[in-house]
Amino acid sequence: MNCFTVKTTDNNSRARRGTLSTAHGDVQTPTFMPVGTRGSVKGLTPQHLRNTRSEMILANAYHLMLRPGAEAVRGLGGLHSLMAWDGPILTDSGGYQVFSLSTLNRVGEDGVEFASHVDGARIYLDAETAIRAQNALGADVIMCFDECTPYPCEPDRLEKAVQRTIRWARKCKAVHASDRQLLFAIVQGGVNRDLRARCAEELVAMDFDGYAIGGLSVGEGHDLMVATVEHTAPLLPADRPRYLMGVGMPADIIAAVRAGVDMFDCVLPTRNGRNAFAFTADGALRLRNTAHADDTAPVEIDCPCYCCANFSRGTIRHLFNVGEMLGPILLSIHNITYYQRLMADIRRHIEAGDFEPWAAQAIARLQAQSGNCRL
């Protein structure tokens, strides 16, 4: 089914403003999804997330398969009940764990054998297992099982990963058994344009509900990432949502929207928040620094979030220095709010018709700001 409507496009770029329709409601795009890997966005309640204006969140099927188990989640009323979240949810299939837990797995032609990072138990994950688990979890958008590769990657390994990703996507589509869940395929190929084009062509021919660009933000850097997205996004159907997986630096998001991407997720807002790092329009703040000890200003003056409305930088620094859990909670709330305000600005500028000049200025400003945001 066609789950995506493009409302308007930017005249000077490929940016578009749209709506993704799911079984649990509509999502305004471009959108950013906070990450709740194990069924919870770390440190935040669903009400916190709603207050940040988040519309859709992400969970990971691999981790939920290990604990508490997909059938256990189904028995608890499904993922929405488990997370107490009545909005849309997307689950990743576990394909990224093929990459991130590479020291614990063995990749075969049909699937991957893991040593559980929890207790070392042997686990076999393939296309059928990944889809049946996601069907049981009940997310609104589920992902095909794929193989993500590192950067740099040997040509032969990259070629084989693309072949497996295409073959596994075909199996995923055949196994998928819920018409209430949208199934997205994932385009792989590293930074190799020919492999990206071949993978996209094969997957588009299978007619999925949406398409993701995977295998980026794994060390290739901003310029190569943007060039790969600019090459790949136009190869995907204009009437389907496009999702750039795991990419979350603000400058990267704006550049990808300019290339035609609609959906994003990343752990950066919450991970950095737990490390006393705040995103602001004026640049990064490291709240453990002594400079903030007597600072009575909020994290960001014009931010409407609960953190900025009630706490000073000096207070937040104190909370981190004495190990109070409220510090990470407050900065996670602020950082996700920052991201949702960024997405609202992106949507507004696309609608106003001035996205391209705004994006160029925003990217230049973000890249000039000091501080490495990847903690």
What confidence category does residue 120 fall into, taking pLDDT thresholds of 50, 70 and 90?
Answer: confident
Give the residue among 263, 262, 250, 257 at the shortest CA–CA distance from 342: 250
| CA–centroid distance for 266 within its chain | 4
The enclosing H or E element of 11 equals: none
CA–CA separation, 62 and 232 (whole Å): 27
The reply to whether 302 belongs to the active site is no
| CA–centroid distance for 105 within its chain | 23
Question: What is the reported pLDDT for 375?
Answer: 54
106 pLDDT above the threshold of 80: no
The reply to whether 92 belongs to the active site is yes
pLDDT digits 0-9 by tens, 258-283:
999 999 999 999 999 999 999 999 99
The predicted model scores a pTM of 0.96
Whose tokens are 């933000």? That residue is: 217
Of the residues 146, 194, 265, 282, which is catalytic? 265
CA–CA separation, 341 and 301 (whole Å): 14
What confidence category does residue 308 fall into, taking pLDDT thresholds of 50, 70 and 90?
Answer: very high
CB 327 within 8 A of CB 72: no
What confidence category does residue 373 fall into, taking pLDDT thresholds of 50, 70 and 90?
Answer: low
Helices (H), ranges, the chain: 46-51, 61-66, 70-75, 79-83, 95-100, 127-137, 155-175, 193-206, 221-232, 250-259, 268-273, 306-310, 313-321, 326-352, 355-368
Question: What is the reported pLDDT for 102?
Answer: 58
* CATH architecture, domain defined by 56-266: Alpha-Beta Barrel (3.20)
| CA–centroid distance for 212 within its chain | 10
Of the residues 92, 126, 140, 252, which is catalytic? 92
Domain boundaries, the chain: 56-266, 273-368
CA–CA separation, 344 and 350 (whole Å): 10
What confidence category does residue 301 fall into, taking pLDDT thresholds of 50, 70 and 90?
Answer: very high
For strands 4-9 and 16-22, give the pairing.
antiparallel
Contacts 24+ apart (CB under 8 A), 74-79: 74/136, 74/137, 74/138, 78/137, 78/138, 79/39, 79/137, 79/138, 79/139
